[in-house]
Structure formats: structure tokens, C-alpha cells
Chains A and B, each alone.
Chain A
Amino acid sequence: MFKALMSQVRTIWTILQHSFTRAETVQYPEQKPYLAPRYRGRIVLTKDPDGEERCVACNLCAVACPVDCIALQQGVKEDGRWYPEFFRINFSRCIMCGMCEEACPTNAIQLTPDFEMCEYNRSSMVYEKEHLQIEGTGKYHDYNFYRVAGLAITGKDKGQAENEATPIDVKSLLP
């Protein structure tokens, strides 16, 4: 019993010593914590170095999303590029898991270190394409999907992409 009592007294003494230690709290709104560039916050759609939309509306992000907060509709431009006719993310459902970013084959959808999204109105949390689209390239500056992909668009036929061999004509036996 005496031992138990002494242990309590020692606890009290230890806590009392904490009167002279500094508080660990970060005073948030005034004192922002450092967030790494790969922090998973608000989602953006990026553009490739040429200034075209990266998103090809493949729907992989919508499939990967565990809470089904992404909705989009595919369209095809006259030059053969694919693009989303609309792209909608419901941030009141989004859990910032980053699955969409991992699923994206064109690095279009990216998560940013911004998390301060507060609205009084729930429907204001639904972001449309014009809210999501940014002008820059995000985290990947040099990547341009159409320059490496085999899809034919105006001004670039099959086989003209980087590291791509010209297609083999299967109807000819000539080497």
C-alpha cells in the first residue's frame, strides 16, 4: 500500500514539473504548420506544359473513388483529344484518400496541400470543372500525355510519339 501511495505522489510531482515546460500546441490560424507538397488536400485538375487539359475523361478516378464523389462525362474534341464535358467533385463526401491521384493515367487529377475548405452551404462544397481546373502543371512539370501516348490526334499520327515505333502494317509481309 505504501508503494502504491508513493507512486501516486511521484506522479503528482512529475506533473508538477510540467509547469515549467513549454506548450506543444501550434496556434493554428496564426501559425500555419508546414505541409509537404504531397500532402493530400483539395483536389485540382492540372494542364499539360502546352496549356491543354490533361484529363482524358477515362473515368478511372471515378471508379477508384471509395466514396463515389467524382462524376464526369467524356467528350471528344474535333482534333481527336478526349476531354471531360463536365467534371464534378463533391467535397462534402471526399475523404482526401488520394486514390484518384494514384489511378489517374495522365497525372491530371492531383491533391494539393490546401485543406481550408469551409462553407456554410453544403451545396457550395460541390466543385465543378471550372473550380477544379488550374492553369499550371501541378507536381509533374514535363509530362504531356499526348506526346507519349499512341492515340492519333490532329498534328500527331500514330507512331510519332516519343519512344514510339511506327506501327506495323499487318497487311503487308514486307520487312
Chain B
Amino acid sequence: MLATLFYIAALIALTSTMAALTRANAAHALIYLIVSLLAVAVMFFLMGAPFAAALEVVIYAGAIMVLFVFVIMMLNLGDTGEDREREWLAGRNWFVPGAMAALLLIEMLMVLGDFQGVTSGNAVSPKAVGIRLFGPYLLAVEIASMLLLSSLVGAYHLGRRFIVRRGEH
């Protein structure tokens, strides 16, 4: 039962990712990407990592993709953008990335050959994730937070007013 659900979710994730790659309309592509992320979240849930699933939904599908859609709306590409996208998606451009992806797929299949079962069986609670993050992986968390802080400072710098005109402050 769980395995069937997992494979359905995996199928949805794969097809929607493919669709996201091949759509010419940016908004449609983004919707497929969101569906793909949600499918991945379901897979995480079925694999016994509900915390990761929830974070996938809240952060990736809920916040980052909203920003993507925001940018799409700001640019408001229209038909010219779609035509250009179609041109880029023409047949021969697929050759190199397609070949690389195929290699990766073969590698993954070889690794997965002796892998047993899809679910780990025991669910990982949020508490366990927290203990891990602030225990053995503290350094990684700190480095990531430093990276985020630097990007925050960078964004603040970009966002400040370089020229102060009269009447503004």
C-alpha cells in the first residue's frame, strides 16, 4: 500500500518535472515545478521524514516558489518570451544535457541495484532532527547561517538608497 503510494508520488514528481522543463510558458512551468515539489514532499512523508516533508512544503513550495512566481509577474514576459523559450527548447539543444542526465540515471540505477525497500520504517520526529542539527551537525548549521547572514547584508546593501535627492530622506 505505502509502496504503491510512493511510486505514484514518484511518477507524478517525474512527469511534472519533465513538464516543467519543456513548457514554453514560464508560469505553466512554475506550476509544474510546484506540483513536483509537493510530490517530493509526499515522498519524504512516506519515507518516514514528516519534518522534512513539512519543511519542503513550507519553504520550497510555500515561500521560494512564491518568489519565483513574483518575479515572473514582475517581468510579465508575454508572447515574445514564449517564442524565445520555444526556440531554446528546439531539438538539438537537448543533446548534451540529455546525455549527462542519462549517464546520471544509469549510475543511480547501478547504485540502487542492491537497495532494499523504499521506506525506512521508523518516522523521524522533529525533535530528533533538532537534536541532530544542534549536535553533530552544529558546524554545518553555523556555516549555513553565516552564508545567509552575508547574503542578508548584501541584499541590504543593494537595497539602500545610493542617491539621496532633496525632499527625500
A adjacent to B, CB under 8 Å: no
Q: Which chain A residues have a beta carbon within 8 Å of chain B's beta carbons?
A: none
